[in-house]
Structure 1
Amino acid sequence: MFSYVTTSQPRLCSRPLCANDAQVLLLFDYETRLVELKAINKTRDSNLMELCAVHADRFRPPQGWSCHDEREPKVNVDRSHVQYAFRD
């Protein structure tokens, strides 16, 4: 009998070259032109963008769209420890 061990992959920020942990979900509602920022949950959904707190705080919605930040509590970011991935 075989047993398989799976390791949970870390949830990293969706932004290219960012190696920070994802903390925020970015949801787009195209019908109402609304973007929502929500705290990350345990369920993964490949249709949602996952961002680190740094990139979520920098996010600006497209022109003509509204943005609702529904994170509780608001995430305060210490940008002195931002990590980026580099390719050799």
Structure 2
Amino acid sequence: MRERQCSKVGCAREAVTTLTYDYSDQMAVVGPLGAANDPHAHDLCLIHTDRLSVPKGWTVIRHESLLS
């Protein structure tokens, strides 16, 4: 399987998490790297996962991998 790269412009690091947004609930969800490359999700490297920020009033849900 080919590794996926971080979705952030200019970043060539390996993606380790997948970020999705729920605009109606003002929520961002970060979890383990998705099994498939979803065009509506954003794959992030560890650095960009740690630096994630969302608009004021939004909630961030972080799902930790069960295989740590």
The TM-score normalised by the length of structure 2 is 0.86
Structure 1 unaligned spans of 5+: 1-7, 76-88
- What is the aligned length? 67
- Shift of residue 9, structure 1, vs aligned partner: 4.6
State which structure, 1 or 2, has the greater radius of gyration over its C-alpha atoms: 1
Task: Please report the RMSD computed on the Cα atoms of aligned residues, expressed in angstroms.
Answer: 1.7
Identical aligned pairs, as a percentage? 27
Structure 1 residue ranges, 4+ long, deviating more than 2 angstroms after superposition: none
In the alignment, the residues of structure 2 paired with residue 41 and residue 32 of structure 1 have an alpha-carbon distance, to the nearest angstrom, of 21
Shift of 1:20: 0.5
TM-score of the aligned structures, taking structure 1 as reference length: 0.68
Q: Which runs of 5+ in 2 are unaligned?
A: none
What does residue 42 of structure 1 align with?
Answer: 35
